[in-house]
DNA sequence: CTCAAATGCGCAATCGTTTACACATTTTTA
DNA sequence: TAAAAATGTGTAAACGATTGCGCATTTGAG
């Protein structure tokens, strides 16, 4: 332990050979004899050799680092995706760099540039809410780096995407409500400029249509994903002449707001009003009543995005894949009139 | 856009100068004239130059990448810390690589090695539950890389640490309960092998002592951070001859378990039993009743860890710092008998 | 027995920057 | 006014690995 870092050159010197042989041996090159390999590995071990992946990456022009860009790293959905990605790519010897866009396009652009400068193998990204131009991402593609979008995707780019089937998630939620006897179902939408919310809206409409229920414009409201906003909107909804008897919310938080307002105003859930949220945020399972919600499969989405990424980066597959994961409707107390019997015992 | 990446050599060639001048100009070296700098920047812009930070790092022997190791990236506390770190170090041009130990020492060791191979500037880590030997971290120090521990720290290493004052968090929680009229306060501890839980225990004991309350051994229980376990333990507690009238839990999840069990068994909270949790997990504010809890200041801890790290990495400060952040007791309904009047209106 | 293929390894260039050192010119100091 | 300091730039050697090419030697086929 002289403090000096040992390189392949030191190993070579000790073994009276050259760095190229050592490099090849360490990389298990078939042209190197087993005997030499053994010696090299032994000496590497003995000298406490640790590879410098930067040097290798510089030479190879590609690193084993994947850039991830998300709006916020501490939102449960995104942190789950990050976990899923890391877990998956680690197996193949990759590491992940995390960047946050804070929903700002400028940050997203800066992040992309920083990641390219760091010579990442590619980028896995969920677009910021603001993102509507794609030059920064086209640059990624032009540089021949792998690019995978997840959740917040776009069709403007010819690249691989992984998302859940928001349409289906909404469709089955609304169908589930209908099957539980609800007929006047309100819809809390997110910002309809964002594709996922448009899809959820489509699913909502289709479910109504397939069950021969009318579309009531007053029941369709754009609500930010926020508890207080949920309360406000619910108050308005419940002052309509014909009140809805269920709410399907694009967000667990506005669903929570609705729940709180309803309980405070002596509505019973699910008896008077049924509720289904979206996101399956952990809190939904702890509330009283527990709230049904569509699970977005964060970790699974991360794993899938990682797999698609690896497939592409290793050149096994050059055509782009659009993967739609099936969301899972987690049925809890807030939407199941039938289960009342079970609950009361 | 010939597809070829432009390097400082291209810029130099265009300008009839050399790469060294370009490099210096781009790095704002004072020995380069303003005139030359202008030309260089203009040409860099024109050619769409983008630096290769890897090459620079290789040459300099140090990168602008910081390794972060946490048990799980999707736990709200850790993801908050990650967010705080990223937010802070980005300002200084650093990026963060995330690794997960999954509470396993082998993974932690592998992660450390991978990060060192990637030539990170240093590592910010929260130890896995299993970690009780520290050779892997000593190696980091030996290699002259900055090392900062947070939350799950150890005294076995001469390095900077950032944590919250768990003692104080527990002390003020228990004091708060006492001030609200509770006298028989049970304590849910985590694994006492882990320093943070020992500290919380110390705080609990000190608060009792300072208020002349007796320590009842039956009230002190080790509980995994888990809803079901919380229920089980509460059931046992409430079957004691002398039942406690409050619970201070080292974990929000076991506090939640306790709450659920108590409500199901017709205890009133906070009238019959007071409850304070630890962690201030988001769900605590959504429950009915809302649960008081000690906020662990994840994002702030991340920011602080980042600042300590930067201070050290820039060599501004070579002595190690031990920072203790003050936790904040968030007082909610579950522990405030006094507020009952307000609630009922 | 001969020649082609296979095997095993060394040479040296390369990836894109940074930086110690050198050198020439200009400015300042005493 | 000569020496010292400051200014501006070029030369070339790193940083630590990978890899195309080439040269022996060994093996195998015919």
At A158-206, the pLDDT tens digits run: 999 999 999 999 999 999 999 999 999 999 999 888 889 999 999 999 9
pLDDT the model gives residue B340: 42
Q: For B287-317, give the DSSP string.
A: SSS--EEEE--HHHHHHHHHHHHHHHHTTS-
pLDDT, tens digit (0-9, with 9 covering 90-100), for B265-291: 999 999 999 999 999 999 999 998 999
Task: Give A314's pLDDT tier (boundaries 50, 70, 90).
Answer: confident
Q: Which residue has the tokens 């131009």?
A: A133
Give per-residue pLDDT as tens, B229-271.
999 999 999 999 999 999 999 999 999 999 999 999 999 999 9
pLDDT at A195: 83
pLDDT band at A315 (very low <50, low <70, confident <90, very high): confident
Residue A124 has pLDDT above 60, yes or no: yes
H or E stretch including B136? helix B135-142
A72 touches chain B (CB under 8 A): yes
Query: Given this model, what pLDDT does residue A2 score?
Result: 40
Tokens of A65: 């680092």
Confidence of residue A5 (pLDDT cuts 50, 70, 90): confident
Query: Distance (Å, rounded) from C-alpha B222 to C-alpha B250?
Result: 9
| Cβ neighbourhood burial of A310 (10 Å; 0-12, 13-18, 19+) | buried
Q: Looking at residue A319, what is its pLDDT? A: 84
- Strand spans (E) along B109-211: 122-125, 146-150, 160-164, 185-189
Is residue A319 a contact partner of residue A277, using CB atoms and an 8 Å limit?
A: no
Instruction: Look at residue A26 and tell me whether its pLDDT is greater than 80.
Output: yes
A33 CA to D26 C1', in Å? 13
Shortest distance between the Cα of A126 and any Cα of chain B, in A, equals 16
- pLDDT at residue number A338: 62
A96: which 2 tokens? 């992940």
For residues A327 and A296, is the Cβ–Cβ distance under 8 A?
yes
Contact present, A57 and A93 (Cβ < 8 Å): no
CA dihedral sign, ordered B96, B97, B101, B105:
negative
Count the neighbouring beta carbons within 10 Å of the beta carbon of residue B42.
12
Does A288 touch chain B if contact means CB atoms closer than 8 Å?
yes
pLDDT beyond 60 at B41: yes
Give the Cα separation of A190 and A249 in Å (integer). 9
CA distance A155 to A160: 10
Dist CA A274 CA A291 (whole Å): 9
Q: Flag whether pLDDT at B107 surpasses 50.
A: yes
Strands A292-295 and A328-330: antiparallel
User: Could you check: is the Cβ of residue B343 within 7 Å of any atom of nucleic acid strand D?
Assistant: no
Q: Is B113 on the interface with A (CB under 8 A)?
A: yes
Q: Which residue of B has its CA nearest to A255?
A: B286
- State the pLDDT at residue A194: 83
Least CA distance to B298: which residue of chain A?
A74
**H or E segment and range at residue A322:** strand A322-325
Decide: helix, strand or coil at residue A108: helix
The answer to whether B159 and B148 are in contact (CB under 8 A) is: yes
- Whether A213 has a pLDDT exceeding 50, the answer reads yes
Side-chain-side CA neighbours of residue B19 (13 Å): 6
Residue B1, pLDDT > 50, answer: no
Instruction: Let me know: does B15 contact B5? Beta carbons within 8 Å.
Output: no
Which has more pLDDT, A339 or A192? A192
Q: What is the DSSP letter of A242?
A: S
Dihedral sign for Cα atoms in the order B119, B122, B125, B127? positive
pLDDT computed for residue A132 by the predictor: 92
Q: Are A96 and A85 in contact (CB under 8 A)?
A: yes
Query: Taking 90 as the threshold, does the pLDDT of residue A345 lie above it?
Result: no
Both tokens of B138, joined, read 């000593």
Residue A316 has which token pair? Answer: 């096994």
List the structure tokens of A249: 């919310």
pLDDT for position A343: 39
Beta bridge partners, A114, equal none
Distance A223 CA to C23 C1' (A): 70
Confidence (pLDDT) at A60: 95
Instruction: Say whether pLDDT at B46 is over 90.
Output: yes
Is any atom of nucleic acid chain D found less than 7 Å from the CB of residue B19? yes
Task: Give the confidence band of B200 by pLDDT, cuts at 50, 70, 90.
Answer: very high
* pLDDT at residue number B314: 80
- At B199 the pLDDT is 94
For residue A154, give how far its alpha carbon lies from the nearest alpha carbon of chain B (Å): 25
**Residue of A67, A279, A74 lying closest to B73 (CA atoms):** A74
DSSP string, B220-271: EEE--S-HHHHHHHHHHHTTSSS--SEEEESSHHHHHHHHHHHHHTT--TTT
Determine if strand D comes within 7 Å of the CB of B155: no
pLDDT tens figures, A31-80: 999 999 999 999 999 999 999 999 999 999 999 999 999 999 999 999 99
Q: Calculate the average pLDDT of chain B.
A: 94
- The CA distances from residue A230 to A131, A158, A174, A236, A270, in Å, are 26, 37, 18, 10, 17
Contact at CB, B74 and A299, closer than 8 angstroms: yes
Closest-CA residue to A114 (of A89, A90, A136): A136
**Is residue B142 less than 8 Å (CB to CB) from chain A?**
yes
pLDDT score at B342:
39
Q: Is the CB of A33 under 7 A from strand D?
A: no
Confidence of residue A4 (pLDDT cuts 50, 70, 90): low
Tell whether omega for the bond before B270 is within 30 degrees of 0, i.e. cis: yes
| CB nearest to B63's CB, from A54, A114, A283 | A54
Q: Evaluate if residue A344 carries a pLDDT over 50.
A: no
Chain B residues touching residue A75 (CB < 8 angstroms): 79
Contacts with A344 (C-beta within 8 Å, 6 or more apart), sequence order: none
**Separation CA A330–CA A204 (nearest Å):** 17
Which residues of A fall within a CB distance of 8 Å from B142? 1, 3
For residues B195-201, give the mean pLDDT. 92
Band of residue B341 on the pLDDT scale cut at 50, 70, 90: very low
**Backbone angle region of B279, left / alpha / beta, with phi > 0 → left and psi within -120 to 50 → alpha:** left
State which residues between 22 and 41 of chain A bring their CB within 7 Å of strand C: 24, 30-33, 35-36
- Nearest one of B112, B130, B72, B87 to A84, comparing CA atoms: B72
- pLDDT at residue A317, as a whole number: 67
pLDDT for residue B3 is more than 60: no
Q: Decide if A338 contacts A182 (C-beta within 8 A).
A: no
For B95, name the nearest residue in chain A, comparing CA atoms only.
A97
pTM: 0.93
Q: How far apart are CA B226 and CA B204, in angstroms?
A: 20
Chain A residue with Cα closest to B113: A50
pLDDT band of B338, cuts 50, 70, 90: low
Asked if strand D comes closer than 7 Å to B33 Cβ, the answer is yes
Which residue in A124, A136, A82, A130 sits closest to A102, CA to CA? A130
> What is the pLDDT averaged over residues A243-256?
97
**pLDDT given for residue B245 in this prediction:** 96
Flag whether residue A43 sits within 8 Å of chain B, measured between CB atoms.
no
Query: What mean pLDDT is reported for chain A?
Result: 94
Q: A51 CA to D20 C1', in Å?
A: 23
Q: Is the dihedral of CA A279, A282, A285, A286 positive or negative?
A: negative
Average pLDDT over residues A92-113: 97
Residues A222-236, mean pLDDT to the nearest whole number: 96
CA of A168 to C1' of C10 (A): 62
């Amino acid at each position: 332990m002289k403090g000096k870092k040992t390189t392949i050159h030191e190993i070579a010197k000790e073994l009276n050979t050259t760095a190229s042989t050592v490099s090849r041996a360490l990389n298990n090159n078939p042209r190197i004899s087993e005997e030499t390999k053994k010696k090299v590995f032994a000496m590497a071990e003995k000298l406490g050799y640790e590879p410098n992946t930067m040097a290798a990456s510089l030479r190879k022009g590609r690193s084993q680092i994947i850039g991830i860009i998300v709006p916020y790293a501490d939102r449960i959905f995104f942190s789950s995706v990050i976990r899923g990605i890391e877990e998956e790519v680690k197996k193949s010897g990759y590491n992940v760099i995390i960047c946050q866009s804070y929903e700002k396009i400028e940050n997203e652009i800066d992040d992309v540039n920083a990641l390219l400068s760091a010579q990442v193998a590619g980028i896995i990204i969920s677009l910021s809410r603001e993102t509507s131009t794609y030059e920064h991402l086209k640059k990624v593609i032009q540089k021949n780096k792998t690019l995978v979008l997840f959740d917040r995707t776009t069709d403007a780019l010819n690249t691989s995407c992984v998302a859940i089937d928001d349409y289906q998630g909404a469709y089955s939620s609304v169908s589930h409500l209908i099957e539980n006897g609800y007929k006047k179902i309100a819809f809390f939408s997110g910002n309809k400029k964002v594709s996922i919310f448009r899809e959820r809206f489509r699913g909502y409409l289709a479910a109504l249509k397939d069950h021969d229920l009318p579309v009531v414009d007053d029941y369709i409201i754009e609500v930010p994903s926020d508890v207080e906003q949920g309360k406000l909107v619910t108050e308005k909804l419940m002052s309509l002449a014909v009140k809805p008897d269920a709410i399907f919310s694009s967000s667990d938080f506005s669903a929570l707001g609705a729940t709180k307002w309803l309980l405070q105003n002596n509505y019973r859930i699910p008896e008077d009003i049924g509720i289904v949220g979206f996101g399956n945020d952990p809190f939904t399972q702890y509330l009283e009543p527990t709230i049904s919600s569509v699970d977005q499969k964060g970790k699974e989405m991360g794993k899938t995005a990682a797999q698609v990424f690896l497939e592409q980066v290793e050149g096994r597959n050059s055509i782009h894949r659009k993967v739609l994961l099936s969301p899972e409707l987690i049925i809890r107390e807030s939407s199941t009139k039938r289960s009342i019997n079970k609950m009361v015992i």
